Amino acid sequence: MERRKLVAGNWKMHGTSADLGEVTAISIAAETADADVALCLPATLIERATRAAPGFMIGGQDVHQAEKGAHTGCISAAMLLDAGAKLTIVGHSERREAQGETNSEVKARAEAALAAGLNVILCVGESDAVREAGRAIEEVSAQLSASMPTSITNASHFSVAYEPIWAIGTGKVPSTSDIAEMHSALRERLKSSYGEAGKAVRILYGGSVKASNAAEIFAVADVDGALVGGASLKSADFLPIVEAASGNSG
């Protein structure tokens, strides 16, 4: 099945108004790219980024499952939409680890965001220890099952990002055969839950994606794009990755 690639940057806790020029540069290149491009920014920058780059896909990095309430420091889907965001990441391993987000919380967040009209990138991935123990496929498949929405109404609004924790920010990347094996297992899981729609959900790879390895990763079966951390902060690093995706659609 033909799936248009999605290359999403995750700026994490980086970026102030001084960096808006990078957003603009990326948005201009995105207009002519043969791939969907997005940047998930710190919440404080979303509104200004959408003004600086009208029409470009700006997202948040997390969303709370409740519509509103006593949740100090949290952001609702309605707030993200109000700021101009069109998507959000949920379940990033840094949040699962540091904020103790559970699978059921991640699932509730994904469902709340989709219901409100945001696109969602749901992250899953195994630790080094799990990979070493030979249990990566089993554990990540189970993690996906427990954290994915029960149903989806539009497959193009929902993506999964496979991000091995040991590959994030480390420069280490799994072999292309390990990526292929994982993505194929996740595809089966999506199909068994969503039927035909499961074939249309994009499965991104994330973890130390950069210009030098992007083309090889995008050529792997069932890799439908990338979630990029460090290499998304500067247009000079990010745009070659977008270009690699453009040359590799399908």
Active site positions, annotated: 92, 163
- Indicate which single residue of 182, 209, 239, 245 sits in contact with ligand PGA (rule: CB under 6 A): 209
Nearest one of 123, 187, 189, 114 to 152, comparing CA atoms: 114
Please say which residue, 143 or 194, places its beta carbon nearer to ligand PGA.
Answer: 143
Contacts with 2 (C-beta within 8 Å, 6 or more apart), sequence order: 249, 250
How far apart CA 218 and CA 250 sit, in angstroms, is 10
One character per residue 162-201, x = contact with ligand PGA (rule: CB under 6 A): -x----xx--------------------------------
How far apart CA 75 and CA 83 sit, in angstroms, is 11
Please say which residue, 149 or 229, places its beta carbon nearer to ligand PGA.
Answer: 229
Helices (H), the chain: 20-31, 43-52, 77-83, 93-98, 103-116, 128-132, 136-147, 176-194, 197-200, 211-218, 235-246
Query: Considering the complex, what minimum distance in angstroms separates the CB of residue 192 from ligand PGA?
Result: 26
Contact between 208 and ligand PGA by CB under 6 A: the answer reads: yes
Please say which residue, 91 or 198, places its beta carbon nearer to ligand PGA.
Answer: 91
- Indicate which single residue of 59, 174, 206, 225 sits in contact with ligand PGA (rule: CB under 6 A): 206
What's the number of CA atoms in the CB half-sphere (13 Å) around residue 229?
19
Read off the DSSP letter of residue 81.
H
Distances (CA, A) of 130 to 54, 70, 153: 42, 36, 33
Query: Considering the complex, what minimum distance in angstroms separates the CB of residue 229 from ligand PGA?
Result: 2
Query: Considering the complex, what minimum distance in angstroms separates the CB of residue 171 from ligand PGA?
Result: 8
How far apart CA 68 and CA 73 sit, in angstroms, is 12
Please list every residue from 140 through 169 that binds ligand PGA, using CB under 6 A: 163, 168-169
Please say which residue, 26 or 168, places its beta carbon nearer to ligand PGA.
Answer: 168
Nearest one of 101, 95, 123 to 12, comparing CA atoms: 95
Query: Considering the complex, what minimum distance in angstroms separates the CB of residue 67 from ligand PGA?
Result: 27
One character per residue 5-24, x = contact with ligand PGA (rule: CB under 6 A): -----x--------------
Please list every residue from 220 through 239 that binds ligand PGA, using CB under 6 A: 227-231
Contacts with 236 (C-beta within 8 Å, 6 or more apart), sequence order: none
Q: Which stretch, 50-58, 135-143, 202-210, 234-242, contacts ligand PGA (CB under 6 A)?
A: 202-210
Please say which residue, 158 or 166, places its beta carbon nearer to ligand PGA.
Answer: 166
Please say which residue, 194 or 208, places its beta carbon nearer to ligand PGA.
Answer: 208
Distances (CA, A) of 36 to 69, 83, 148, 149, 185: 34, 21, 22, 22, 24
| Residue ranges binding ligand PGA (CB under 6 A) | 10, 163, 168-169, 206-209, 227-231
